[in-house]
Amino acid sequence: MSKSFKSFAITLALLALVIAPACHKKTPPVVAPSVDTSPAVPPIPPTVTTATAQTVPTETDFVSPKTDTVAVETLPNENRHLGDMYRAIGEIHEAEGRPAEALEYFKRALDVQSHVRQA
């Protein structure tokens, strides 16, 4: 045999000896016996409940104002936005079909613009 063939065979044998222990047989896993560890709970007897009527307190609507005054009426006479607010309120009353109230707020807007407000 040639020298290269002998070195190849020796190298192959050495690799087989090194790799062989790494390839071990798989052993089947050991199955432990199952033990029931859940606590034993006695059955709960049914309870009889009587329905009681709960009343809901009726409160006033939180949206409704507490007073009859509009916030624009509490503004000072010197406020430059007061005329615009009266005009806007008049337009709202006019759109709702209440011309008497609309005319009253339009008059107030004119009075504020001319710096003479009627009470």
Entry pTM: 0.38
Per DSSP, the residues of 46-115 read P------PPPPPP---SSS-SSS--GGGGS-TT-TTHHHHHHHHHHHHHHTT-HHHHHHHHHHHHHHHTT
Q: What burial class does residue 89 get, using C-beta atoms within 10 Å of its C-beta: 0-12 exposed, 13-18 middle, 19+ buried?
A: buried
- Asked if residue 75 lies in contact with residue 67, where contact means CB atoms within 8 angstroms, the answer is no
Could you read off the pLDDT tens digit of each residue along the chain, which spans 119 residues?
688 888 888 898 888 877 777 766 777 888 887 777 777 777 887 777 777 777 777 776 666 655 566 666 666 666 778 888 889 999 999 999 999 999 999 998 888 887 644 44
- Asked if residue 108 lies in contact with residue 86, where contact means CB atoms within 8 angstroms, the answer is yes
Please identify which residue in the block is written with the tokens 């309120």.
89
23 secondary structure, DSSP code: S
